[in-house]
Amino acid sequence: MIEPSKEYVVQMHGITKRFGSFCALNEMNLDVKSGTIHSLLGENGAGKSTLMNVLYGLYQADEGEIFLKGEKVEVKNPSDAIKLGIGMVHQHFMLLEKFTVVQNIILGDECISHLGMVDMKKARKDVMEIANKYGLHIDPDAKISDITVGMQQKVEILKALYRGAELLILDEPTAVLTPQEIQELIKIMKNLIDSGKAIIIITHKLKEIKAASDICTIVCRGKYIDTVDVKSTTESELAALMVGHDVNLVVDKSPAEPKETILEIENLVVENEKKMDAVKGLSLNVRKGEIVGIAGIDGNGQKELMDALSGFIKAKSGTIKINGKEIQNTTPRNIIDSGISIIPEDRHKRGLVLEFGVFENAVLNKYRKMPYSKKGILNQKAMEQFTNELIQECDVRPAGCTYDHAGNLSGGNQQKLIIGREVSNNPELLIAVQPTRGLDVGAIESVHKTLVRERDKGKAILLISFELDEVMNLSDTIAVIYDGKIQDTFLQGTVDENTLGLLMAGGRNHVHE
Amino acid sequence: MYMNKIAQILKKSVFRTLAAIVLGLFVAGIILAVAGYPPLRSMLALGKGIFSSPKYVSNVLIKSTPIIFTGLSVAFAFKTGLFNIGVEGQFIVGCLASTLVGITLDLPPVIQVPLVLLAGLVAGAAYGGMIGVLKAKFGIHEVISGIMLNWIALYLSNYICILEPFRKGDSNGTYQVSEASKTLILGAWKNTDDGRNFLKGIPILGEAFLKTDVNIGFLAAVIMAILLAVLLKKTTKGFELRAVGYNKYSAEAVGIDIKKNIIDVMLISGAVAGLGAALYITGNTPHKITVLSAFEGMGINGLPVALIAGSSPVGCILSGLLFGGLMYGGQALQYEVGAPTEIINIVIGIIVFFVAIMKGVPRLLLKIPRRGGKHVK
């Protein structure tokens, strides 16, 4: 343990936090040096966020001490933390959609003029000053609902800086960003460091740790594992430290043996909620025994494509065929019955009923079939038995969670539950949207393995992901979506990241022209 | 440490509700005291007004029956994510339809009773279903359409009940439903000499039967509660309804037809209210409807019943009984201590209030000792 000293912005020593009988943090240590970007690496549920919530005053530690610049402090609540110069950007942004950027930033800390009115002019000026100082380019008068997720993140960072944060905690900052936005974020972080701030990022993306941070502390199951210098540690070493065993970072798979076409999308046009065309004449085929990955930046028609494929909204024109049968504009049930299973992007919104038990979620797509029900009466025993098998087969933890609320499972285990459920339907086409979003390395590996295994069984797999690495690693065929159309398709290994990145951003593909 | 224990106990909703009821009565006592009435004597009077005679107990059961039905109607819709404030209207059209059929037809009871009950049930279902259709097809919020339809039901009922041939003479109400429509138990027989003499010989039940309108309603309410509980928990339909209630997006994604389920819920919810209405008409004097100047509140009272029950169908029986008991026993407050019966509405309001805030109490209790502990250090 390092003695409390001025050199360190934050030192957390021997932090223990229990929730009931569960020990979320067990004598955790963290020492963050001034002028560094310090990453906190660990699997889901390892205790990273808990530790940061203790620092930010959202939780109180049962044991342990916190020092800021060598001085012992007590953080009872977030406003204490803010006063002490700690700022946190949560994974899910806390912004008001209908407010403008400046309004959001000053909310709760408004400058008041003599008449008791909010002095917007001064607020705007102050905000712009800070923004320019750190190279955070924003449109101060835009409404939050009109700006991109990357912009919203900048607003969150500005919010913390506006309150005088010297130490910034970023919880999973890259989870929702495009590669370009990630680059920009890294640049901003470096700017902040140069002007004397310190940053802690919570993440499980190894690549970004390598790219952005200087020091990395690894957490595993609530325990401190090690603090390493990022420059001299490889990605696989980091992964192994995090998971506790060696991890295969590259997806292990044999070449695809595609057979007949299952899914045919032809000239599909779909409108978004604002009645504007979002999918603009998209065509795509997926064959048995191959994984087709759609790479692209969020907001290029993926959501509308998925809504049409799921049967939530009608296609304006064009066809979607499965085994030659047209399925656009039928009901979701019809689509499921014709052999499509979907792993949805938002597992809380579309995948699970969180208030339901695990067993009810496990049969959510088959409760009407024998043996789970008979003549409209549910068969509890069959449901339970199936769930127990699924829990075991897909390694859903904790074991024996059959009757727990699905909302009590961790994100990775919820995802395993959904994937297990969808795969058990034995679909001909499996569509996975962002299947590893928010998951840790161990869970990602398991999801990828499942997808490859299903492919090898001869299923057709369509993968939609905003993570270029995932698409490049996993897909046999890579299709790039931009502006509602497939710009180009490549076989795996015949294209590099730069070409794809350019196409994703709307650039022309010079190779083909 | 004992705080922890209390917190653990209060995590169970049953105990939470009980605590809310006790607190509600306690606060009512304070209010009585402030208003200048002896609180303890008032509470005793209330208790006496409920339990001291078989007649009272029987009347409590009878009075509770319709609000148990409307409570069930509301609770069922709640469970599936809908707020059926239109239950008042469904109850009114249920009364109307069953009265009309009960006046018009005069068949043997074996056919007549089911027909009259069915009329109420179908009318309630149709009226509730309308709200469902409006929501499913046009996206109109069920609270808006429900409130509107309540008024329409009120004036529709007022209009029809003084129409020929239903209106009785110059009165502002209809004729009674035919004798064969009534769902009283031993209704006709207990008015004969034989029946009267026989019942007089039975100690407790005898009095209840002779002095009150004992009818099949309460029994039907219990059966309905069990049916609804089974429907929700044990059937695929209930599975779908609950899934839609908790998360309609996930439900849609696994192929459940949300719109159809919204309509189904409102049909069932309305049917329960309508059946309760039919049983109310056929089981209680005056067995007819009259022009109403305002809502009777049979439906609206179902809302607190469902709230206190935490939307559990079986819980609705208990909370309905509590409600009925307070309403009926509350009359005793007036003639025993002279307190206004409005105090009962205050009690009910306070209980609902405590039920609502009790959910946060366990967490609050767990926080207190920790704060205290810090000071000790």
Tens-place pLDDT, residues A98-123: 899 999 998 887 777 777 788 888 88
Q: pLDDT category, A1, cuts 50, 70, 90?
A: low
| B177 within a domain of the structure (yes/no) | yes
Q: What is the pLDDT of residue A5?
A: 82
For residue A376, give how far its alpha carbon lies from the nearest alpha carbon of chain B (Å).
Answer: 5
Please indicate, yes or no, whether residues A121 and A252 belong to a single structural domain of this protein: no
Of B236, B257, B370, the CB nearest to A367: B236
Report pLDDT digits (tens) over A241-278: 877 666 666 777 888 888 899 999 999 999 988 788 99
Q: What is the pLDDT of residue B375?
A: 45
Rounded average pLDDT over A188-203:
89
Q: What is the pLDDT of residue B368?
A: 61
Proportion of chain B in helix, strand, coil states, percent, rounded to 5: 75, 0, 25
- Cβ–Cβ gap A354/B247 under 8 Å: yes
Which domain, by its residues, includes B198? 62-311
Q: What is the pLDDT of residue A332?
A: 92
Determine the Cα angle at A125 with ends A124 and A130, to 5°. 100
Please indicate, yes or no, whether residues A415 and A485 belong to a single structural domain of this protein: no
Please indicate, yes or no, whether residues A231 and A296 belong to a single structural domain of this protein: no
Helices (H) and strands (E) in chain A, counts: 16, 22
Report pLDDT digits (tens) over A437-448: 777 777 888 889
| A155 within a domain of the structure (yes/no) | yes
Report pLDDT digits (tens) over A370-423: 889 999 999 999 999 999 999 998 888 788 888 988 988 888 889 999 999 999
Q: Is the pLDDT of residue A143 over 60?
A: yes
Please indicate, yes or no, whether residues A254 and A201 belong to a single structural domain of this protein: no
| B295 within a domain of the structure (yes/no) | yes
* Domain stop point among A221, A243, A265: A243
| A3 within a domain of the structure (yes/no) | no
Q: What is the pLDDT of residue B376?
A: 42
| A126 within a domain of the structure (yes/no) | yes
CB pairs under 8 A between A and B: 68
Q: pLDDT category, A509, cuts 50, 70, 90?
A: low
Which domain, by its residues, includes A222? 8-243
Higher pLDDT residue, A229 or A43?
A229
Please indicate, yes or no, whether residues A229 and A145 belong to a single structural domain of this protein: yes
- A60 interaction partners in chain B (CB closer than 8 Å): 370
Rounded average pLDDT over A145-174:
87
DSSP tag of A406: G
Q: What is the pLDDT of residue A370?
A: 86
Instruction: Report the percentage of chain A scoring pLDDT > 70.
Output: 96
B244 at A interface, C-beta within 8 A: no
Q: Is the pLDDT of residue A513 over 90?
A: no
Q: Which two tokens stand for residue B5?
A: 């224990």
Q: What is the pLDDT of residue A254?
A: 84
C-alpha to C-alpha distances, A84 to A35, A93, A155, B149, nearest whole angstrom? 17, 22, 21, 57
CATH number for the domain harbouring residue A65: 3.40.50.300
Q: What is the pLDDT of residue A249?
A: 64
| B45 within a domain of the structure (yes/no) | no
Please indicate, yes or no, whether residues A370 and A458 belong to a single structural domain of this protein: no
| A1 within a domain of the structure (yes/no) | no
Report pLDDT digits (tens) over A426-439: 999 999 999 987 77
Please indicate, yes or no, whether residues A335 and A472 belong to a single structural domain of this protein: yes
For residue A400, give how far its alpha carbon lies from the nearest alpha carbon of chain B (Å).
Answer: 21
Q: What is the pLDDT of residue B90?
A: 97
Residues of chain B predicted below pLDDT 50: 371-377
Please indicate, yes or no, whether residues A238 and A267 belong to a single structural domain of this protein: no
- A349 interaction partners in chain B (CB closer than 8 Å): 247, 249-250
| B377 within a domain of the structure (yes/no) | no
Report how many domains make up chain A.
3
Q: 3-state class of A227 per DSSP?
A: strand
Residues 6+ apart with CB under 8 A from A488: A479, A480, A503, A509, A512
- A342 interaction partners in chain B (CB closer than 8 Å): 253
Q: What is the pLDDT of residue B266?
A: 96
Report pLDDT digits (tens) over A61-98: 899 999 998 889 988 888 889 999 999 998 778 888 88
Please indicate, yes or no, whether residues A232 and A308 belong to a single structural domain of this protein: no
| B316 within a domain of the structure (yes/no) | no
Report pLDDT digits (tens) over A316-375: 999 999 999 999 889 999 999 999 999 998 888 899 999 999 999 999 999 998 889 999
| A344 within a domain of the structure (yes/no) | no
Q: What is the pLDDT of residue A511?
A: 46
Please indicate, yes or no, whether residues A257 and A368 belong to a single structural domain of this protein: no
Q: 3-state class of B226 per DSSP?
A: helix
Instruction: Report the percentage of chain A scoring pLDDT > 90.
Output: 38
| A2 within a domain of the structure (yes/no) | no
Of A334, A355, A368, the CB nearest to B236: A368
| A224 within a domain of the structure (yes/no) | yes
Q: What is the pLDDT of residue A245?
A: 65
Question: CA-to-CA distance for A89 and A158, rounded, in angstroms?
Answer: 10
Q: Is the pLDDT of residue A300 over 90?
A: no
Please indicate, yes or no, whether residues A253 and A225 belong to a single structural domain of this protein: no
* Domain stop point among A362, A395, A426: A426
Please indicate, yes or no, whether residues A255 and A238 belong to a single structural domain of this protein: no
Mean pLDDT of chain A: 87
Q: Which two tokens stand for residue A226?
A: 């090690």
Report how many domains make up chain B.
1
- A350 interaction partners in chain B (CB closer than 8 Å): 249-250, 252-253
